[in-house]
Structure 1
Amino acid sequence: MERRELERQIVEKEWLMFQQVQGVNGRAACQDDWTTFLIMRLSQFEGWDTDVLESYFEDIVQAEAQERNLIMEKYAYMMEETDPVYFLSIKELLPEISEEKQLMAEKITSIYMEWEKEADIKYPNIRRHGRPAEGIGVDGTVSVRNYLKCELYTYSAKTLALFILSIEKNPEYNRYLATMQKMVQAYGYSSLEEAEKEMA
């Protein structure tokens, strides 16, 4: 399958899962915003090697066969930080995360957070419009660290291992900036520099 078609199929499957997520306070407005969802997800995949993307596609297909909702699981894992009391009431319903997966997810997250620091320094105006790096935003926004780590928890050990291998093969490539570049282009900017200037 061609890469762009693979990306599109993944996002369409994720969107269907996203539609089935029931938040504590009901359906969220972002669940009706296909365009933003598409931009965010395709931007994220911009920093992925194709073999990682193919493995993640296999994860989604397997999850569908098992009637698991990876998007729901991601948001549920996030609640360990954002709503720890409620998280305790649902923890037993979630797949247990192996120590191997935890370690790999933490490794990837730590690397991404270093890239995020570089983005904060180079493009503070763009980053101001995004998630906080750590903790919880004043409006309850989930941090970059928590969001990424909890998404990684839903990937298979195979996908995580391939992800780490791809990073180690090209350690100088800042995948966080690659995602940002794709995102600002989707919103009509020619470059991160142009977006940074316009958002000042």
Structure 2
Amino acid sequence: MTANLIDHIIDLEWTMFHSVKASEPAACQEAEGTFRTMRRMSHSVLPPQVLEPMAAQLEAATAQGRNLMTEKYARMANQIPPLSDSPLIAEVVAAEEAWMLALNRRYPLTFPGKGDAFRTYLEADLETYAPATLEAYAACVREALAAGRNLVEERFANLFRRMGYADIEAREAQTRLQAFKCCQ
């Protein structure tokens, strides 16, 4: 059930993403497989309580002729004003940034950088969420925090397993080995 719901969400997102009008064509808009892999990673840790309103909002946006991906990327580029001022966005971003920072400390070769792009992307994405979706997502984040889970780590662990790694540590070890070979 959840896998089918995720596939449905990704289908709706891909249709929107693929039709984003940009001043210059983006190569990533032709990389459907990569798009699907990354979105599957993003949604892989979400329960049906988040996925169901997410699917409903994408269906509603499609029916209204809205392209949420266009809105997200316009927000990322600061081309339009904020789409939402919900305090839930700051709450979710703070938690996810902390989780990403923890990954950066544990796996610096796999997750380099300070996370500015991560924050910008996440804020813009969350601003496109309908209130019900945002509330469900924030509740999911609160539950994960209370349980001591790191949803960002879980997402990337899922991604790296799909890529053939045992876990994030295995990916970090391979990156370390590649860096060592390059320096010799």
Asked whether 1:27 is paired with 2:25, we answer: yes
Looking at structure 1, the residues matched to 27 and 61 of structure 2 have their Cα atoms a distance apart, in angstroms, of: 25
Asked whether 1:169 is paired with 2:146, we answer: no
Compute the displacement of 1:151 (Å): 0.3
Looking at structure 1, the residues matched to 42 and 159 of structure 2 have their Cα atoms a distance apart, in angstroms, of: 8
Compute the displacement of 1:35 (Å): 1.3
Asked whether 1:14 is paired with 2:13, we answer: yes
Whether the 8 Å contact between 2:41 and 2:156 is mirrored in structure 1 is: yes
Compute the displacement of 1:107 (Å): 1.1
Partner of 1:184: 160
Looking at structure 2, the residues matched to 19 and 197 of structure 1 have their Cα atoms a distance apart, in angstroms, of: 35
Asked whether 1:110 is paired with 2:68, we answer: no
Looking at structure 2, the residues matched to 158 and 190 of structure 1 have their Cα atoms a distance apart, in angstroms, of: 36
The runs of 5 or more residues in structure 2 that have no matched partner are: 177-184
The runs of 5 or more residues in structure 1 that have no matched partner are: 81-86, 135-142
Query: What is the percentage of aligned positions where both structures have the same residue?
Result: 26
Normalising by structure 2, we get a TM-score of: 0.89
Partner of 1:199: 175
- 1:127 corresponds, among 111, 117, 129, to 111
Compute the displacement of 1:19 (Å): 1.1
Q: 4+ runs of 1 displaced by more than 3 Å? A: none
Compute the displacement of 1:132 (Å): 5.0
* AA at the equivalent of 1:19: H
Normalising by structure 1, we get a TM-score of: 0.83
* AA at the equivalent of 1:191: D
Asked whether 1:5 is paired with 2:10, we answer: no
Partner of 2:179: none
Name the SS of the counterpart of 2:111 in structure 1.
Answer: helix
Asked whether 1:41 is paired with 2:39, we answer: yes
Distance 1:19-1:132 versus aligned 2 partners, 3 A rule? farther
Looking at structure 1, the residues matched to 83 and 73 of structure 2 have their Cα atoms a distance apart, in angstroms, of: 15
- 2:121 corresponds, among 141, 147, 156, to 147
Looking at structure 2, the residues matched to 152 and 64 of structure 1 have their Cα atoms a distance apart, in angstroms, of: 18
Q: How many residues align?
A: 174
C-alpha root-mean-square deviation of aligned residues, in Å?
Answer: 1.4
Looking at structure 2, the residues matched to 110 and 116 of structure 1 have their Cα atoms a distance apart, in angstroms, of: 10
Deviations for 1:155-190, whole angstroms, at most 9, x for unmatched residues?
011111111112222311100001111111121111
Compute the displacement of 1:7 (Å): 0.4
